[in-house]
Amino acid sequence: MYACMPGALAALLCCNWTAVPFFNFYCIHSFVFHAVIVIYAICRYRGREIRPEYSGIWKSVAVVYGWAIPMIAVNGKFDTNFMFLNKASEGSPLTVLVDLFGEDMYYVSFAVFVLIVWHIMYGVYSLINRTVFRGGAFEMSV
């Protein structure tokens, strides 16, 4: 689940489907779908049903990188840009990666960028667990 959270949040903040009219099915579906992913992850975390830990980061890496390989082929066949894999959308922070490393290194720089975002995200969760919950996160006393 935390594999999807950064991408869904990035899709909401830097969406590239706004070229179509707002009341278009594609636009409404994209906003709702990505918002549901983010809200679901936050609710599960807030409800103390899940506890993200660094020991589980490899699962997120395996899931997202496992999705990325077939999505590159799908994007190429249908001329789409799912998961921001084929190119950095105009106005998104990913254009900085293209500017710094060039289009030839986009896949590599994007993969490293995703790893950095996950480390930041899991680091925040670890910090919250240590400070707010004092290491005993998600133990509920009745």
Tens-digit pLDDT profile for residues 46-96: 887 887 777 777 888 888 889 998 999 999 999 988 888 888 877 778 888
- Number of C-beta neighbours around residue 110 at 10 A: 19
What are the tens digits of pLDDT across the range 97-107? 999 999 899 88
Token digits of residue 84: 């921001």
The Cα 42–Cα 5 span in angstroms is 9
Determine the angle formed by the axes of helices 106-131 and 5-13, rounding to 10 degrees: 110
- Mean pLDDT of the residues in the chain: 82
Q: Is the pLDDT of residue 43 over 80?
A: yes
Block residue for tokens 């799912």: 82
Provide the pLDDT for residue 39.
93
Which amino acid is located at 2 in the chain? Y
**pLDDT, average across residues 110-125:** 85
pTM for the predicted model, two decimal places? 0.72
Q: How far is CA 51 from the centre of its chain?
A: 17
Provide the pLDDT for residue 140.
40
